Amino acid sequence: MRKIYTFIFLVIAGSVQAQTYHNLSGGPFIQNWSNLALITTANDWSGVPSIQGYRGDDLTTLTGTDPQTILADGFATPLNVTANQTNPNTVTSGGICEFEITDPVVAFQGSGTSDAPFLVIFLNTTGTSNIRLKYNLRDIDGSADNSAQQVALQYRIGTTGDFTNIPAGYVADASTGPNLATLVTAVDVLLPSACDNQAQVQIRIITTNAPNTDEFIGVDDIDIRQDAPASVNNIIRNPNYVRIAGNPGSDLSIQFNQAVSSDVQIQFFSANGEMVLQKRLGRIIEGQVERISLGHLPKGLYLLSIKSKEGTFTTKVVN
């Protein structure tokens, strides 16, 4: 008697959906959330090219965990988004939510179940290098909730293994409160050179369950594109932030074009992500100039990060 085997394949709600890796050589990756048709059904990211959100259950079991320390995969946790929400002040569940507010946005907050919710962006960087990533973290929670809502930025090459943290993308608290929802924290980071010219790059933006009542933080105005490398013997300009000039192997001059009301941290990272120089400053007055000596550092490519509560500016420099 011939045996007949029947195989049953189950598709479980919240399981992995097919990913499309955005071809960065064909143009920048830009995503805001003004198109309300992108997400219409719970836990369905199929309408959003190259982005998915996950709940992050049990990636940590503690509150207040620094998301920079959470590097495990996380794709086995539920695919997650709560669609068609209209009031961030009244949604108490953790995870990813799509808010159809005046300025629509996708946002996340941690909880006892959603311990480390995250968004993943899928990129194909073949043929590109010096990749700049920008996005805005928006506090949209105007309720009485008040927490220190940490957000970290990470990457990995391929589809397996741990993620690698990008220190320049860390925000210690993207929220204000209670009863405030006005803070916008700009993140502007050059991705490590390991992300250059790769068929599969995964970029992860992750938060964690805060010690107090969590607040929804929107991840908006995502812009990823190839950028030109800079040499310290050239002038680099960000009209709203800094002017940088210098000579290779000598001093770097950083002029602040506007006042900065919070403490400023200047860091240099080697090509493999190791921090090799750090300088902490107090508040900055308009026109202030800081000089950084690079003469003791080996010749090569470095990532310069200038970070404050107002945002993060990064650029690559060749010493």
State the CATH number of the domain containing residue 302: 2.60.40.3080
Q: Is 30 domain-assigned?
A: yes
| Domain co-membership, 244 together with 220 | no
More confident residue, 245 or 7: 245
76, pLDDT greater than 80: yes
Number of domains in the chain: 2
pLDDT value, residue 318: 79
Cβ burial of 214 (10 Å; 0-12, 13-18, 19+) is buried
Whether residue 289 sits in one domain with residue 207: no
* Segment 170-189 mean pLDDT: 86
Query: Is 17 part of a structural domain of the chain?
Result: no
Are the C-beta atoms of 226 and 131 separated by less than 8 Å? yes
pLDDT of residue 319: 73
Query: Residue 151 and residue 67: Cα distance in Å, rounded?
Result: 7
262-266: long-range contacts, CB 8 A cutoff, minimum separation 24? 262/308, 262/309, 262/310, 263/308, 263/309, 264/306, 264/307, 264/308, 265/305, 265/306, 265/307, 265/308, 266/290, 266/292, 266/304, 266/305, 266/306, 266/307
Looking at residue 236, its pLDDT comes to 45
Say if residue 143's pLDDT is above 90. no
**The last residue of a domain, from among 181, 203, 226:** 226
Rounded CA separation 144/127 (Å): 48
What's the one-letter identity of residue 197?
N
Identify the pLDDT of residue 142: 85
Looking at the fold, whether 160 and 180 belong to one and the same domain comes out as yes
Smallest CA-to-CA distance from 250 within 168, 307, 317, 303 is with 317
Residues 240, 205, single domain; the answer is no
Say how many C-beta atoms besides its own lie within 10 A of residue 80's C-beta: 24
280 & 294 share domain: yes
Q: Which domain holds residue 131?
A: 22-226
Side chain identity at residue 285, one-letter code:
I
What's the confidence (pLDDT) of residue 10?
34
165 in the same domain as 87: yes
Q: 20-67, pLDDT tens digit by residue?
A: 999 999 999 999 999 999 999 999 999 999 999 999 999 999 999 999
* pLDDT at position 282: 74
296, burial (CB in 10 Å: exposed 0-12, middle 13-18, buried 19+)? exposed
Residue 270 banded pLDDT, cuts 50, 70, 90: confident
